[in-house]
Amino acid sequence: MKKKLLFAVLILLAAATAGSIVYDWVVSKTVTDDFFAMDTTVSVRYTGRVQQDEIDRIRAAVLHLDTDVLSRTSEKSEIAAVNRGHGGTVDRQTAAWLQTLRELENKSGYAFTADLGALTELWGIGTENERVPDDDEIRAVLAHIKKWNVDGTKVTVDDGAILDLGAVGKGIACDEIKNGLQKTKAKKAIAAVGGSVLLYAKDPNAVFRVGIRDPRGEVNDYAAILTAGSGCISTSGSYERVFTAPDGKAYHHIFDPATGRPARSGLQSVTVLCDSGLLSDALSTACFVLGCEKSVGLLQAYGAKAVFITEDDRVLTVGDLAGRLELTAERYAFAGEAT
């Protein structure tokens, strides 16, 4: 009898060992797909049983989104066609994204607007033509912005304005990747579309460690590490794409639609977490323009959470993140919940 028991235990042990190895290989197998889209690098790390054709389909969806829908520079994109015709009809899905943005423009008091393309071109930050335009030039462009609209699938854009979804394209890509993932057996996935990140897990209790870039450090330095659940995270910061003018002054690429100049709201960066990538991207841009205090209401309206890093190196949060935020660079001081 004893021997029978021993035998059973040993068999069980062997089976468990074999099982854990198989589990490791098959179920928690990690595959990374790297490619370029949206003028940046896209890296999707899949964990679980994901087929190659599913990975290919998700990649194709992002590339399609870029070249056929959002890109301003791709001749065949819907947005390019709308800009050429100063309006036009778009696909229903595109219209839905634009409606979400129009609503956010209103709720943010136009701290964000999607028709800033002409202003971005005027400054040319990050291109060979970067320069500081004079007041008259800026005023001339500002006269045409905040005037675009979407009604059903019909989009109108002012003659002197350019619709530019560059600030939210990466977030929309995160949403598209999430849609694709839901059709797979992926247990977990992390997609980085440039600096916008999708955290995906079948398990609602899964958490991820997300590094928030140190605005004063190098690219791979973190000011803080956030423990976050599934969702999308985006950061807007004044350290990205900076143009140093001949007079020595630095200009960053996030423009305040009210002034036509790089936003100055006392922030170095703001990181926004919410379910939608489109919203996390758009909200981080709007919040960077608004500054910490004025962002609180907007974030609450969308049920979003945020981490602000101010110019004087204080870190403030919205949405009760204190217990999930670990400051990793010494210079920053946690200053509690923003009000």
Which residue ranges make up the site for another protein (CB under 8 A)?
A: 3-4, 6-7, 10-11, 13-14, 17-18, 20-21, 24, 32-36, 39-41, 43, 126, 128, 190, 192, 194-197, 199, 208-213, 218-220, 222, 225, 233-235, 237, 240, 271, 328
Q: Give one DSSP letter per residue of 216-269, joined into a string.
A: TS-TT-EEEEEEE-SEEEEEEETTSS-EE-TTS-EE-S-EETTTTEE--SSEEE
Residue 83 · residue 117 · CB < 8 Å: yes
Nearer of residues 118 and 210 to another protein, judged by Cβ: 210
Q: 């003028």: which residue's tokens?
A: 39
**Least CB distance to another protein at residue 53 (A):** 17
Alpha carbon 245 to its chain's center: 28
**Least CB distance to another protein at residue 6 (A):** 7
**Least CB distance to another protein at residue 198 (A):** 9
Question: Identity (one letter) of the amino acid at 281?
Answer: D
Nearer of residues 59 and 70 to another protein, judged by Cβ: 59
Nearer of residues 27 and 143 to another protein, judged by Cβ: 27
Nearer of residues 199 and 338 to another protein, judged by Cβ: 199
What is d(CA 177, CA 133) in angstroms, rounded to the nearest whole number?
38
Nearer of residues 39 and 91 to another protein, judged by Cβ: 39
- State residue 301 phi and psi, 5-degree precision: -60, -30
**Least CB distance to another protein at residue 301 (A):** 22
**Least CB distance to another protein at residue 269 (A):** 8
Nearer of residues 240 and 256 to another protein, judged by Cβ: 240
Q: Is 77 helix (H, G, I), strand (E, B) or coil?
A: coil
> In whole angstroms, how large is the CA radius of gyration of the chain?
23
**Least CB distance to another protein at residue 8 (A):** 9
Nearer of residues 42 and 162 to another protein, judged by Cβ: 42
* H/E segment holding residue 139: helix 135-142
What is d(CA 52, CA 83) in angstroms, rounded to the nearest whole number?
37
**Least CB distance to another protein at residue 275 (A):** 16
Q: Give me the sign of the Cα torsion angle 59, 63, 65, 66.
A: positive
